[in-house]
Chains A and B, each alone.
Chain A
């Protein structure tokens, strides 16, 4: 199975900050990488697929980059509604595995 490692596991930031979350795969997954946002008590919500493609309706302050084994999710200017947990997921090889999540908290 492909192991997905996210860093950091938690992060404190302020409204307006630029934030970057990293996800590393244990082997190359090309661009088969998705990012999800999850708020407490809710199901995950797809933000980005294929490493850098923005899902419809997702604000443009979210962006994704990377290929191979190293990927990043960037939020260009944090908004109050962005404080949540973010998960990466690889869809290169079954079983499609997830990272352990990065909790983004208000500083």
Chain B
């Protein structure tokens, strides 16, 4: 059974870089055809798609965050990571790692981590 678990600092100072890691168990992160992604949720904006990385390393980032986001994969550890630079209070959110899937060309998220609350504050 696929499981995802976020980890990282729960408190980040303004202007610094937010770094989170998602550890995948129950599947190989380098499985052909699999995408891995990050989604965040705030009370004000709801759920927001941050970006995804394909097993080959190809990435897609939400244009609203693209200048500040990096998603990478470490196949040796079966992990993928999120980096978000120059954070502000607006980046305070619950961050979820996720495994998007698809059926007959329709994409959806059928596996989510439990979420990690990251607060941006000095």
Measured CA separation A97–B103 after assembly (Å) = 19
At the interface, yes or no: A27 with Cβ under 8 Å from chain B? no
Known: A49-B103, A50-B103, A53-B103. A95 touches B112 (CB 8 A): no
Known: A49-B103, A50-B103, A53-B103. A44 touches B109 (CB 8 A): yes
Query: Interface residues of A, CB < 8 Å — how many?
Result: 25
Query: Interface residues of B, CB < 8 Å — how many?
Result: 20
User: Contacts of A89 on B, CB cut-off 8 Å?
Assistant: 47, 108-109
Let me know if B46 and A46 touch, CB within 8 A: no
User: Contacts of A97 on B, CB cut-off 8 Å?
Assistant: 49
Select one of A45, A53, A95 contacting B62, CB under 8 A.
A95
Let me know if B47 and A87 touch, CB within 8 A: yes
User: Contacts of B48 on A, CB cut-off 8 Å?
Assistant: 98
Q: Which residues of B64-121 have CB atoms within 8 Å of chain A's CB atoms?
A: 64, 96, 103-104, 106-110, 112-115
A residues apposed to B, CB below 8 Å: 1, 31-32, 34, 36, 42-46, 49-50, 53, 55, 87, 89, 91, 94-101
